[in-house]
Amino acid sequence: MTMVGERRRAGRVLRYLALAGYVIFLGFPLVWLLSTAFKPPRELVRLHPTLIPIHPTTENFVQAFTEQDLGRAALNSLQVSLASAVLTVLVATPAAYALTRFRSKLGTLALGWVLLSQLFPFVLLIIPIFLVLREVGLANTHAGLVLIYVVWSLPFALWMLQGFVRNIPLELEQAAAVDGAGRLQILRRVVFPLLAPGLVATALFAFISAWNEFFFALVLIKTPDLATLPVALARFVGIEGTARLGPLAAGSLLATLPSLAFFALMQRRLASGSLAGAVKG
């Protein structure tokens, strides 16, 4: 075998080793979460835990959702996230349409704000927002939280929807206008059907942002019964003993499912980078 061939083969082996390293680093913590979620208490307090549960159980899931009130928190999260998703789409769609079809300085300003607002730490926003919401009696309510989430996902939703609107050929709308369709009719018959995938994507994005959000929920919601899932889980961490890790892992696993489903749906677009920046870390 030639020298070059040998070197190439060595390079290939190295590459596979590196890839394996990445898979282990990224994947192992997830396997551990899965394993912990299915372990009975006795195995959790063992001096040397095993990777695969010896007597797997689903008891942790039941326990997490009955004893720790994670069930209620999950319902709260579902409510808040659904409301945020619907409102975001309702509010963003007309604006995205207007911004794309009628260029205006306001649009440029709004988009500039998207970038600028990334720069500011939440603490500058949260105190005044907290004061405003308290003023109008919306602090410590789901409605207040939904308002914040809508505003928070609006900039990106607008940006995303504009892309979808731009993909609808203007000629289609013009043709409908020539055929005598009114503006509203054009919107309803031509624009909305073609925009449907964009609306779904935007709704999902808003849903996930709200579902995952922690900081605002932590500060704005004081009543334990109103807490969203991330806040409830974070509280749960505080009271852990080793035996409580099972239910904690089970709850965490379930909290991840909606966004996992979203990412599975969006995988292709994400991998191609067209939605890069969609979900802030």
Describe the chain by its helix, strand, coil percentages, rounded to 5.
80, 0, 20
DSSP structural state of residue 111:
H
- 138 lies in the binding site for another protein (CB under 8 A): no
Task: Out of 78, 82, 86, 270, name the contact with another protein by CB under 8 A.
Answer: 270
Collapsed DSSP state (helix, strand, coil) of residue 69 = coil
Q: Which is nearer to another protein, 112 or 169 (CB)?
A: 112
Q: Does 192 bind another protein (CB under 8 A)?
A: no
Q: Which of residues 240-259 bind another protein (CB under 8 A)?
A: 242, 245, 248-249, 252, 255-256, 259
Q: How many residues bind another protein (CB under 8 A)?
A: 98
78 to 46, 228, 258: CA distances (angstroms):
36, 9, 10
Cα separations in angstroms, 259 against 147, 253, 279: 21, 11, 10
Candidate ranges 65-73, 144-152, 162-170, 174-182; the one touching another protein (CB under 8 A): 144-152
- Give the closest residue to 42 by CA, choosing from 197, 246, 194: 246
**Which residues are CB-neighbours of 150 under 8 A, at least 6 positions away?**
84, 87, 88, 91, 206
Q: Restricting to residues 147-186, which ones interact with another protein according to CB under 8 A? A: 147-148, 150-152, 154-155, 158, 183
Instruction: Based on the shown chain and the rule CB under 8 A, indicate whether residue 276 belongs to the binding site for another protein.
Output: yes
Interacting positions 21-80 with another protein (CB under 8 A): 22-23, 25-30, 32-33, 36, 44-49, 51
Select 95 or 194, whichever has its Cβ closest to another protein. 95
Kindly state whether residue 117 participates in binding another protein, applying the rule CB under 8 A: yes
Structure tokens at 161: 């929807």
Cα separation, 186 vs 176, in Å, equals 7
Length of the chain: 281
Structure token digits, residue 275: 């939605």
Confirm or reject binding of residue 223 to another protein (CB under 8 A).
no
Taking residues 201 to 220 in sequence order and writing x for each that binds another protein by CB under 8 A, - otherwise, the string is ----------xx-xx--xx-
